[in-house]
Amino acid sequence: MSVIYDRVALIGLGLIASSMAHAMRRAGLAGEIVGTARSAATRDIAREIGFCDRIVDTAAKAVEGADLVVLAVPVGAMGAVAAEIGAHLQPGATVTDVGSVKRAVIETVAPHLPETVHFIPGHPLAGTEHSGPRSGFAELFDNRWCILVPNGSDDAATEKLVALWRGMGSNVEVMDADHHDLVLSVTSHTPHLIAYTMVGVADDLSRVTDSEVIKYSAAGFRDFTRIAASDPTMWRDVFLANKDATLEILGRFTEELFALQRAIRTGDGEALFDYFTRTRAIRRGIIEAGQDTDAPDFGRSGKHD
């Protein structure tokens, strides 16, 4: 493929940003990749790995002359980063992000950006439980979905960003911010909350020792622990930023759980069988859609470290 953006600035150099750099290099999509991170240690690691052409020490320096700026920081930090870079963005540049909440990002970032730039929030539905610049790899986005929220930007700017994500291997969907937040509360946010809770229950259950939890972990519990290994700073920000949608889906989950409790208590095997049959069909649909991989969506935006 040919170069889509002459200069890309990556703000934050965690899993997603480093994987983007590797994927852009693989396909030749960027003329130059400039990166920055909050900590000097992370910047040094990024220099050592060499996935960016240049590493600078501030976000303001990173965005100078960039025609694409990627905010790969926790949702709670995006407003402050936007305030730092706003005056340094070149006219016509596109600013995007990779956070797993969209309405809160728009509300905190957009006020700091000049009207001369295009702000197109995004969310790649890809990740692992690993973080940091060493965790990135070019194949992370292959056949995974990336959701973009045009947010009033013109079609040309949106199509250019769509082309970048497709060039990095993603399937792309355009979606409204509020609908995105509702969908992700079902597919990612609430499942993470449940996983954190289940691991906490196992830790609190005095009749089951820590050694038994580790020794006898079945596949289902191992999946819970893998999800619960995700970055706590990022997930704190996600739940606070997507509070309404998460509480709505959590309420629906509680209702379903009460129905299952009632079926178990009353010995209603038919209700349990019908429920499990329906949910198994949904699982098979996920597999057939090609979204079941060894690197599930952890909603990770990468730490700004």
| Chain segment 206-253, per-residue pLDDT in tens | 566 666 666 666 666 767 667 666 677 777 888 888 888 888 888 888
Section 83-96 average pLDDT: 98
Average pLDDT, the chain: 87
φ, ψ dihedrals at 133, nearest 5°:
-65, -25
pLDDT over threshold 50, residue 302: no
Section 170-180 average pLDDT: 95
131-173 pLDDT per residue, tens = 899 999 999 999 999 999 998 999 999 999 999 999 999 999 9
Instruction: Name the band, by pLDDT with cuts 50, 70 and 90, for residue 70.
Output: very high
Which amino acid is it at 250?
L
242-270 pLDDT per residue, tens = 888 888 888 888 888 889 999 999 999 99
Please state, in angstroms and rounded to a whole number, the distance separating the CA atoms of residues 133 and 78: 19
Please state, in angstroms and rounded to a whole number, the distance separating the CA atoms of residues 217 and 172: 36
- The pLDDT value recorded for residue 122 is 97
pTM of the model: 0.77
Six-digit token pair at 136?
């990135």
As to burial, measured by CB atoms within 10 angstroms (0-12 exposed, 13-18 middle, 19+ buried), residue 186 is middle
pLDDT over threshold 90, residue 298: no
The β-bridge partners of 70 are 10, 96
- The pLDDT value recorded for residue 251 is 85
- The pLDDT value recorded for residue 290 is 61
Which residue would you say has higher pLDDT here, 84 or 74? Answer: 84
